[in-house]
Amino acid sequence: MLDLGYYFVGKVDRGSGTVFTVDDGYETHVYEHPHGVSKRDIRVAVAVAFIDDQDSSLDYRVTGRYPHYSIEEVK
């Protein structure tokens, strides 16, 4: 039988709505979708938060569609 306690990663409040994920190549980050924020605005925020922090000598882009995004190196 699977023990979920070993695989627990976090909690979301019951009334929080939906969540989205960002896979940066090392970890998968889970965020709550803020009320009233568009999917386009979320995608822009993901790009700013994850790509601006990456190595500036390499080009990265946000791939995937809501609710699952990935950060990938442009080849």
pTM of the model: 0.76
Question: What single letter denotes the amino acid at residue 63?
Answer: T
Buried b (16+ CB within 10 A) or exposed e, 11-20: eeeeeeeeeb
Q: What is the mean pLDDT of the chain?
A: 84
Q: Give percent of the chain above pLDDT 70.
A: 83
Q: Give percent of the chain above pLDDT 90.
A: 39
| Res. 17 pLDDT band, cuts 50 70 90 | low
Nearest to 39 by CA among 14, 68, 9, 11: 68
